[in-house]
Amino acid sequence: PVHRLALSNDELYGAFEESTHEWQDGVLARIMRTVCKDESPDQKWILFDGPVDTLWIESMNTTLDDNKLLTLLSGERIAMPPQVSLLFEVEDLSQASPATVSRAGMIYLNVEDLGWRPYITSWLNQKTVPGMADMLVKLIDKYMESCLEYKRLNCRELVPTDRLSCVRSFTRLFDSLATPEHGVAPEDGQEAFTTLLEMWFLFCLIWGIGGTLDEDGRKKFDTFMREKDARYPSADTVFEYFVEPKQRQWMTWESKLSSTYRPPPETPFFKILVPTIDTVRNSFVASSLVRNFNHTMVVGNVGVGKTMIIQSMLDSLPSDRASMIINFSAQTTSNSLQDTIEGRLEKRTKGVFAPAGGKKLVAFIDDLNMPQKSKFGFIPPLELLKLWVDNGFW
């Protein structure tokens, strides 16, 4: 896939180097030339992922019409054979001109049409622990749809999410926590396995679906969950409890707090983080996801301690993980972001970069909302991140 907004126009189509006066191919020019030279009868697709705007799509009008020619600034023309097609995956066409829209066929995919069940079915098929998939099917049928529908109708989110996003959050959290290290192991006996599997399911359901709710929404969601299942302790809300595997009970986050906290000696005052219920539970959920190689977003108002919590979490990572901090600002561009990340990596082979020492790298990006929008309202650094997260390359 080609993600246009992660590239400049020159990087996409190519340009003349001012210093050498030589032509430098762009990403699309190189891909088109390679694909179009292949004379095999197999159908080939070039996928463009991301928003469409007139700055780059107008240059492709001759490629999309009957001429099927990509004309470069160098004067080269690349003819597109019948077995090569272009596919554009876009959220909307608000910035596309009628000339562009009329040259392509349109297929509208409604997120609600697909639903979340195909994703869950695929996820369940990957479960290899005996009996786990069957138990999960029963729990999902009992809780999932009703929880999603209740949240949609009655609760307000700090970050709007659709149903599939909530279900994916649930599955990632479940895969991170429903492990032998947290007591979910058939060899410990069927009773213990069943009890802990169901408890971790409910915990992940609460945070996967309800984690984005505001304070009032969490209270409503708490009432709903207690009506569905009365096993929760009566005090506080369901968000105040975690699963204690050894005792197979719900325990309060407060029980994880030390009554006599003392910061490590010689710790600078501005780096002292006094544990509270909020910091403990947010750190637990976020670190569980990160340790299982899941991308995680921490959202909150200015000054609530997001950066301190994440920095504390990074300090406690296993020895096989390296970390880096990237501070976004209004001047951050996709090129500067790419240079910053690649600067912490070492080149293994041509086009392949990896962290030094065979470690896994955790990149903490602070102030994700700071980069400036483009003329058409898009944010190129975030589009580059999306490309990296979705595909693992740029």
CB neighbourhood size of 190 (10 A)? 9
Give the Cα separation of 383 and 381 in Å (integer). 5
d(C-alpha 186, C-alpha 183), whole Å: 9
Given a cut of 90, whether residue 171 has pLDDT beyond it is yes
User: Both tokens of residue 67?
Assistant: 């001429």
In terms of C-beta density within 10 A (0-12 exposed, 13-18 middle, 19 or more buried), how is residue 297 classed? exposed
Residue that is written with structure tokens 């597109």 in the block: 80
What pLDDT score does 222 carry? 94
Q: pLDDT confidence of 377, banded at 50, 70, 90?
A: confident
What digits encode the pLDDT tens for the residues 228-287? 888 888 888 999 999 999 989 999 988 888 777 677 777 777 667 777 888 889 899 999
Task: Give the model confidence (pLDDT) of 314-342 as tens digits.
Answer: 888 888 899 999 999 999 988 899 899 88
Q: Are residues 14 and 46 in the same domain?
A: yes
Q: Report if residue 312 sits inside a domain.
A: no
* Same domain, residue pair 94 and 162: no
My answer on whether 35 and 123 are in the same domain is no
Instruction: Tell whether 146 is covered by a domain.
Output: yes
- The answer to whether residue 304 sits within a structural domain is no
Question: Where does a domain end: 108, 134, 158?
Answer: 108
Contact between 284 and 291 (Cβ < 8 Å)? no
Residues 19 and 98 in one domain: yes
Residue 10's identity, in one-letter code, is: D
Q: Are 82 and 119 in the same domain?
A: no
Same domain, yes or no, for 100 and 172? no
Q: Are residues 161 and 66 in the same domain?
A: no
On whether the CB atoms of residues 100 and 61 are closer than 8 A, the answer is yes
Total tally of structural domains belonging to the chain = 3
Q: How far apart are CA 343 and CA 42, in angstroms?
A: 39
Give the domain CATH number at 233.
1.10.472.130
Per-residue model confidence (pLDDT) at position 66: 87
Do 392 and 334 belong together in one domain? yes
User: How many helices and strands in the chain, by DSSP H and E?
Assistant: 15, 12
In a domain, 284, yes or no: no
**67 domain-assigned:** yes
Quick: pLDDT tens for 81-124.
999 999 999 888 888 888 888 888 889 888 778 889 999 999 99
Residue 283: inside a domain: no
- Kindly report the pTM of this predicted structure: 0.84
Does one domain contain both 152 and 83?
no
Q: How far apart are CA 292 and CA 176, in angstroms?
A: 6
How far apart (Å, rounded) are the C-alpha atoms in residues 158 and 152? 13
- Report the distance separating Cα 233 and Cα 281, nearest Å: 17
- Whether pLDDT at 51 is above 90: no
First to last CA, the chain: 9
For residue 349, what are the domain limits? 317-394
Same domain, 31 and 92: yes
Q: Comparing C-alpha atoms, which of 199, 150, 152 is closest to residue 178?
A: 199
The strand pair at 23-25 and 77-79 is best described as unpaired
Q: How far apart are CA 245 and CA 181, in angstroms?
A: 9
- Domain boundary (74, 92, 108) is at 108
Which two structure tokens, joined as six digits, stand for 88? Answer: 């554009």
The residues with which 356 forms a beta bridge, in sequence order, are none
Of all residues in the chain, the percent with pLDDT exceeding 70 is 98
pLDDT at residue 73, rounded to an integer: 85
Helix-strand-coil percent breakdown of the chain, rounded to 5? 45, 15, 40
Q: What CATH number is given to the structural domain containing 383?
A: 3.40.50.300
